[in-house]
């Protein structure tokens, strides 16, 4: 993945059929050359923080592996601000931080503590604790800041699900220094086909939940979206409504789309388009209109040509000017024998006159990984170099080196580079990112770690980084073959802690808490439970600090452990 890649997506609403610009990945270097209207349509698409997708890498159930890898800590040297002028960098522009990770016994609760180096010692800054249920769905998240000598709550969120696993409700709370208070909640409802039919967002205002946003979705008999109604609210009052409506072809592709915004009973904005397809279902043309001055007027037109295998051959963007369609941007593409993009040639017109043109030439290894990319201007009789990418990989296909260069004063000058090394499991263990400014100086690149469902949970920008991992035994917690009581987490704890235990068969279970003198304080569980892994949230309200014993008892098994309460 290139550090400069931007995925450009043209859209009207999140459900509108998108024109895919994901392969036009280097347009960002020439974006200022593109027509203004096309620039406005090109927008970055960010990966969602939590991907609602099938789990690909289940760290809790590695059936084919005895051990799994978990990240213990990472030390990073970061630029204080990447938005500041980074010329004449000195130590004042750099900040050394450490991220430390701790895990619950079944690795479904991850606590991440950020510390900073003050020149003498590591000092706490903030921490987040994320808890997943045993189906690897988010259950709880807590964010805390370190103030003076204590962890103080910042915000917390709770997740609720329907029995079939779909998201039902999300609660978000803030902390005022003394108590938690409601902030926001999000509710989902679904139709009989499993598609979302209602999404509502409510804010807590003057002791009541009031709407800030509501979305109602309707579908046809094929479960294709036909109406998307969105209401925006301010201080409990409806401010404006937007509607998106769709029609479909016999191949269930979007044939037409209409979007309108109504405020105070008047249409204030609108856009609509009609799509045209070839016999194989490829989009060949899109005609778009916008609502201006109380009438629909032509806006822009896309058209595509394809190779017999379905790869895009040309893309043409035209704008409506002086009662006719005028060329604004054209892309032509040639592929190599492996199906990779080999040459992309780009043309830009201004007021009907060809103004700029350039081409990009790519090379790849046998694994379809890009090795080089050369961009050349075609504005003169002979091509002129513009910029150049180069990549290197290890034997496992992991990127170890990347450099971006620009053609300046008839020679290539490096502008950005990064290095990375990996351990035997393919995890990054150290890296460096640099920019050129009369010498190589601290740059930035992102580091992230996989959560229990295999997807990245956080990312930080670094100049230098070093990560440490450990290997732990992998257990199938969904179907354990033994009884076991785990150490509570966190421990020591303040008020609340999680206690986990495994049962290899359905049995009568008793879970009790005793003080250090053996006096029973509470019975947490006394019932028959099925085979599997179970947990309970123990809240020690009204109990003084000290050491306590908790005991799990079944007909075949007894185990005790200690826990420490610190208030």
Contact present, 396 and 411 (Cβ < 8 Å): no
Q: Is pLDDT at 4 greater than 70 in this prediction?
A: no
Q: Name the token pair of 389.
A: 């990418």
Report the percentage of the chain scoring pLDDT > 70: 81
Which DSSP string corresponds to 54-99? Answer: --S--TT--TT-SEEEEEEEEEEEEES-TTS--TT--GGGEEEEEE
Provide the pLDDT confidence category of residue 90 given band limits of 50, 70 and 90.
Answer: very low
The string of pLDDT tens digits covering residues 102-141 is 877 776 778 889 898 888 889 999 998 888 776 777 888 8
Provide the pLDDT confidence category of residue 40 given band limits of 50, 70 and 90.
Answer: low
Q: What are the residue ranges spanned by the domains of the chain?
A: 70-120+394-474, 484-565
| CATH among 1.20.1250.20, 2.60.40.1930, 3.20.20.60, 1.25.40.10 for 484-565 | 2.60.40.1930
Contact present, 433 and 444 (Cβ < 8 Å): yes
Phi and psi (nearest 5°) for 246? -135, 145
Contact present, 537 and 498 (Cβ < 8 Å): yes
Q: Is the dihedral of CA 455, 141, 52, 201 positive or negative?
A: negative
Q: Which residues contact 351 (CB under 8 A, 6 or more apart)?
A: 321, 326
The pTM of the full predicted model, rounded to 2 decimals, is 0.73
Q: Would you state the torsion angle of the CA atoms of residues 545, 549, 550, 552, taken in this order, to the nearest 10 degrees?
A: 180
What's the CA gap between 199 and 420, in Å, rounded?
42
Q: Is pLDDT at 170 greater than 90 in this prediction?
A: yes
Q: Is pLDDT at 148 greater than 50 in this prediction?
A: yes
Provide the pLDDT confidence category of residue 49 given band limits of 50, 70 and 90.
Answer: very low
Contact present, 451 and 457 (Cβ < 8 Å): yes
The string of pLDDT tens digits covering residues 469-497 is 887 766 667 778 889 998 888 888 877 88
The string of pLDDT tens digits covering residues 208-256 is 999 999 999 999 999 999 999 999 988 888 888 999 999 999 999 999 9
Q: Quick one: pLDDT at residue 120?
A: 87
The residue-averaged pLDDT of 342-354 equals 92
Q: Would you state the torsion angle of the CA atoms of residues 118, 120, 125, 131, taken in this order, to the nearest 10 degrees?
A: 140
Given the DSSP bridges, would you call strands 237-248 and 225-234 parallel, antiparallel or unpaired?
A: antiparallel
What's the CA gap between 354 and 347, in Å, rounded?
7
Q: Is pLDDT at 268 greater than 60 in this prediction?
A: yes
Q: Among residues 466, 366, 438, 445, which one has the least CA distance to residue 403? A: 445
Q: Quick one: pLDDT at residue 217?
A: 96
Length of the chain: 567
CA max distance for the chain: 92
The string of pLDDT tens digits covering residues 8-21 is 222 233 333 334 44
Q: Quick one: pLDDT at residue 468?
A: 87
Provide the pLDDT confidence category of residue 508 given band limits of 50, 70 and 90.
Answer: very high
Q: Quick one: pLDDT at residue 65?
A: 44
Q: Is pLDDT at 313 greater than 50 in this prediction?
A: yes
Provide the pLDDT confidence category of residue 68 given band limits of 50, 70 and 90.
Answer: low
Q: Quick one: pLDDT at residue 139?
A: 85
Q: Which residues contact 305 (CB under 8 A, 6 or more apart)?
A: 284, 312, 313, 314
Residue ranges of alpha helices (H) inside 318-437 are none
> For 181-212, what is the HEC assignment?
EEEEEEEEEECCCCCEEEEEEEEEECCEEEEE
Provide the pLDDT confidence category of residue 31 given band limits of 50, 70 and 90.
Answer: low
What's the CA gap between 128 and 400, in Å, rounded?
31
Q: Quick one: pLDDT at residue 9?
A: 25
């Amino acid at each position: 993945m290139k550090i400069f890649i931007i995925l450009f997506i043209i859209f009207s609403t999140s459900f509108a059929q998108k024109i895919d610009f994901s392969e036009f990945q280097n347009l960002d270097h020439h974006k200022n050359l593109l027509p203004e209207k096309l620039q406005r349509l090109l927008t970055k698409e960010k990966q969602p923080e939590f991907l609602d997708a099938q789990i690909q890498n289940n760290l809790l159930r590695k059936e084919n592996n005895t051990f799994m890898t978990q990240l213990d800590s990472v030390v990073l040297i970061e630029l204080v601000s990447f938005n500041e002028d980074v010329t004449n960098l000195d130590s004042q522009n750099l900040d050394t931080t450490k991220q430390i990770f701790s895990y619950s016994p079944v690795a479904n609760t991850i606590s991440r503590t950020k510390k900073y180096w003050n020149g003498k010692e590591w000092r706490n800054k903030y921490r987040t604790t994320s808890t997943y249920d045993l189906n690897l769905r988010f259950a709880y998240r807590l964010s805390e800041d370190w103030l003076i000598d204590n962890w103080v709550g910042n915000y917390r969120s709770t997740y609720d699900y329907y029995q079939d696993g779909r998201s039902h409700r999300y609660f978000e709370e803030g902390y005022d220094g003394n108590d938690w208070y409601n902030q926001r909640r999000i509710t989902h409802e679904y139709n009989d086909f499993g598609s979302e039919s209602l999404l509502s967002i409510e804010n807590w205002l003057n002791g009541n939940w009031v709407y800030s946003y509501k979305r109602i979705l309707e579908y046809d008999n094929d479960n294709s979206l036909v109406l998307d109604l969105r209401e925006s609210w301010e201080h409990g009052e409806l401010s404006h409504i937007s509607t998106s409506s769709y029609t479909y072809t016999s191949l269930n592709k979007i044939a037409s789309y209409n979007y309108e915004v109504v405020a105070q009973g008047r249409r204030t904005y609108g856009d609509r388009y009609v799509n045209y397809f070839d016999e194989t279902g490829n989009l060949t043309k899109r005609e778009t209109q916008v609502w201006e001055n109380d009438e629909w007027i032509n806006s822009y037109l896309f058209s595509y040509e394809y190779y017999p295998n379905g790869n895009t051959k040309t893309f043409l963007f035209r704008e409506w000017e002086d009662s006719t369609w005028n060329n604004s941007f054209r892309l032509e593409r040639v592929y190599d024998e492996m199906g990779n993009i080999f040459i992309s040639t780009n043309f830009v017109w201004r007021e009907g006159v060809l103004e700029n043109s350039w081409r990009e030439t790519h090379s790849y290894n046998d694994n379809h990984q890009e090795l080089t990319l050369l961009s050349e201007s075609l504005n003169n009789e002979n091509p002129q170099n513009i910029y150049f990418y180069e990549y290197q990989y290890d034997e496992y296909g992991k990127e170890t080196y990347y450099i971006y260069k620009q053609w300046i004063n008839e020679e290539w000058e490096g502008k950005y580079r990064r290095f990375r090394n990996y351990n035997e499991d393919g995890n990054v263990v150290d890296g460096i990112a640099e920019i050129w400014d009369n010498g190589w100086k601290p740059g930035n690149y992102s580091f992230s770690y996989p959560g229990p469902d295999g997807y990245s949970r956080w990312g930080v920008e670094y100049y230098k980084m070093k990560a440490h991992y450990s290997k732990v035994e992998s257990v199938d917690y969904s179907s354990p073959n033994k009884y076991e009581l785990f150490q509570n987490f966190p421990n020591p704890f303040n008020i609340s802690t999680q206690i986990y235990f495994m049962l290899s068969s359905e049995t009568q279970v008793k879970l009790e808490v005793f003080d250090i003198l053996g006096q029973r304080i509470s019975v947490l569980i006394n019932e028959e439970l099925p085979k599997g892994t179970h947990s309970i949230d123990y809240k020690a309200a009204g109990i003084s600090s000290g050491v306590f014993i908790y005991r799990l008892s079944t007909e075949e098994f007894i185990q005790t452990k200690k826990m420490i309460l610190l208030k």
